[in-house]
């Protein structure tokens, strides 16, 4: 058929993205779990019928999920090829982190859209369920040494077969969670999102025809590839290296190196992680598919004009040996994947800063600080609160970093304290910006935050934390200074205590009236602090962003 004109292509792109956006909104409005309903820790997209490659993603879902889902959909395609018996409406459920997943809480649903007896595309939904068994409520087990200690693992199985829900699978899921009702609500929200996506895409195909939509999807992918090649070709050829470190793996207190050699050669880029640390004992490992997915997120941040589909990865070569912690297989624990992917993204940003220093940013705070509190209610039911928290983004060529933002892996929002307080027996006694937490620079890094939480339950409240940046602060760029380190404190009968592994906590209990306090990092600074505008320094001091002592130390400012 003749190529689509630009106006029609733009209209169809908007319609396709809107389908994924509506799927996102459907789940957000119906999920039981605040991490989905409020924080939007979920995503939806459309995927290629034969390869599983990303065709369309929503604008409000987590980008890290979109990249990983391409591998997940391919796992379903391979299963269908082995098993056969695919019918319209069949829906596969799984959470396998080694086969297109991320960690066990992220439960994926994949369904074909059938046209004339053939698969036109796959629709997929992923959301973070609150609890999937394992040794630790909420599943962020910082001491896990194998995936069996992190929760239940499900390979791709048919949840819906020929239009019939498989109750046996539902029963298994419910029996292996501390909060089965929450998971049941999230599952139904995801199924409703798939139902809506199926209707919307079917209507679009009926309106324009299958061939036209096929042509539009191919054109959008080709444009993404062309734009990515142009962006790469504009950079100077060469190899640019960046090393960064994780504090520890939660089991052994020694650093883990994440190392990247980024090579530009014409219009192609190679990301080589061969120098990274070997697989670790604790849950800071990730699978190859997760590493590729977070590279996709980093590149989208660097090249913002490139459409979000698989075409943007066509000129990228990945070297991710299985001898590193970035390419592991079962049963290596992967529950803390968020911390490792953030460090991978940091190394890509750091290497890119050497290729194009004028476009560099200071590092973001780069830890989600996965905090779980759990206990028993008076009537004997379990409660599990999981939340992630914000920090500062890096200073950049245009100005100071954002205060109290979210990490570059997502468009998620930090759940409001009012929602958390209404659902769980806790009270936030502090939720504030953290002075002096942003890295100094011509453009200061954004500020981190202070969160203090008091336990209100009569019984003991279990405390679990899986975070990072407790030993290696977010670095600055182009002469900017590092941000403050992450800090976690919990109250005991003998006063405040700091965990031995700094950013990882298990086996801690607090009683009613006792508190935990999380002080998150800011972002790294950009440019020489000596060149910062004195008026901006004075404004920072006046607003309490920077203390007078820090201004004198970092900027040589007079008090």
- The pLDDT assigned to 2 comes to 61
Q: Where are the beta strands (DSSP E) in 137-282?
A: 157-161, 164-165, 238-246, 256-265, 268-272
Q: What is the pLDDT of residues 119-170, one digit of tens each?
A: 999 999 999 999 999 999 999 999 999 999 999 999 999 999 999 999 999 9
Distance from C-alpha of 64 to C-alpha of 334, rounded to nearest angstrom? 15
Q: 14-24 pLDDT, tens per residue?
A: 999 999 999 99
Strands (E), 197-279: 238-246, 256-265, 268-272
Q: pLDDT tens-digit profile of 225-279?
A: 999 999 999 999 999 999 999 999 999 999 999 999 999 999 999 999 999 999 9
In which region does residue 527 sit, left (phi positive, over 0), alpha (psi from -120 to 50) or beta (all else)? left
Check the CA dihedral 278-287-176-66 and report its sign.
positive
Contact 341, 286 (CB under 8 A): yes
User: Which tokens hold the place of 402?
Assistant: 């954002």
State the pLDDT at residue 60: 85
468 pLDDT higher than 70: yes
pLDDT digits (tens, 9 = 90+) for 335-372: 999 999 999 999 999 999 999 998 899 999 999 999 99
Cβ atoms of 173 and 183 within 8 Å: the answer is: yes
- pLDDT of 558 > 90? The answer is no
Between CA 461 and CA 514 the distance in angstroms is 10
Res 64: pLDDT: 82
């Amino acid at each position: 058929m003749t190529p689509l004109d630009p106006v029609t292509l733009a209209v169809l792109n908007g319609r396709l993205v809107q389908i994924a956006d509506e799927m996102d909104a459907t789940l957000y409005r119906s999920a039981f779990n605040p991490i989905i309903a409020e924080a939007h820790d979920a995503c939806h997209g459309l995927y290629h019928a034969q390869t599983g490659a990303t065709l369309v993603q929503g604008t409000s879902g987590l980008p890290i999920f979109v990249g990983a889902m391409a591998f997940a959909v391919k796992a379903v395609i391979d299963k269908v090829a082995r098993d056969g018996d695919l019918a319209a409406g069949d829906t596969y459920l799984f959470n396998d982190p080694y086969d297109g997943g991320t960690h066990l809480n992220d439960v994926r649903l994949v369904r074909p859209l059938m046209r004339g007896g053939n698969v036109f595309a796959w629709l997929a939904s992923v959301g973070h369920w609150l609890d999937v068994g394992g040794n630790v409520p909420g599943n962020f087990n910082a001491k896990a040494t194998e995936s069996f200690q992190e929760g239940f693992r499900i390979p791709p199985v048919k949840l819906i077969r020929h239009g019939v829900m498989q109750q046996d699978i539902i029963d298994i899921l419910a029996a292996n969670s501390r909060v089965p009702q929450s998971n049941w609500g999230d599952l139904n929200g995801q199924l409703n999102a798939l139902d809506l996506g199926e209707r919307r895409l079917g209507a679009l195909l009926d309106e324009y025809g299958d061939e036209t939509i096929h042509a539009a999807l191919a054109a959008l992918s080709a444009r993404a590839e062309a734009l990515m090649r142009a962006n790469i070709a504009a950079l100077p050829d060469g190899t640019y290296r960046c090393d960064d470190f994780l504090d520890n793996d939660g089991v052994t207190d020694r650093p883990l190196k994440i190392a990247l050699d980024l090579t530009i050669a014409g219009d192609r880029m190679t990301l080589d992680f061969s120098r990274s640390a070997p697989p670790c004992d604790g849950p800071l490992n990730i699978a190859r598919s997760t590493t590729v997915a977070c590279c996709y997120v980093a590149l989208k941040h660097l090249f913002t004009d490139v459409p979000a589909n698989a075409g943007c990865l066509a000129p990228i070569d990945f070297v991710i040996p299985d001898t590193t912690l970035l390419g592991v297989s079962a049963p290596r624990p992967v529950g803390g994947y968020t911390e490792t992917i953030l460090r991978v993204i940091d190394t890509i940003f750091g290497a890119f800063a050497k290729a194009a220093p004028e476009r560099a940013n200071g590092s973001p705070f780069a830890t989600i600080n996965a905090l779980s509190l759990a206990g028993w209610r008076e009537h004997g039911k379990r409660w599990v609160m999981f939340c992630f928290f914000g920090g500062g983004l890096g200073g950049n060529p245009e100005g100071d970093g954002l205060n109290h933002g979210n990490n570059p892996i997502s468009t998620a929002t930090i759940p409001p304290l009012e929602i958390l307080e209404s659902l769980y027996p806790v009270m936030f006694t502090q939720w504030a910006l953290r002075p002096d937490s942003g890295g100094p620079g011509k453009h200061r890094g954004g500020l981190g935050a202070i969160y203090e939480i008091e336990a209100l339950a009569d019984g003991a409240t279990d405390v679990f934390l899986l975070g990072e940046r407790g030993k290696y602060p977010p670095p600055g760029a182009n002469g900017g200074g590092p941000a403050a380190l992450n800090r976690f404190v919990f109250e005991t009968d003998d006063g405040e205590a700091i965990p031995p592994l700094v950013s990882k906590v298990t086996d801690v209990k607090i009683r009613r009236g006792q508190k935990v306090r999380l002080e998150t990092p800011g972002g790294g600074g950009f440019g020489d602090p000596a060149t910062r505008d004195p008026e901006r320094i004075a404004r920072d001091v006046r607003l309490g962003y920077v203390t007078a002592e820090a201004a004198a130390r970092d900027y040589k400012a007079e008090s």
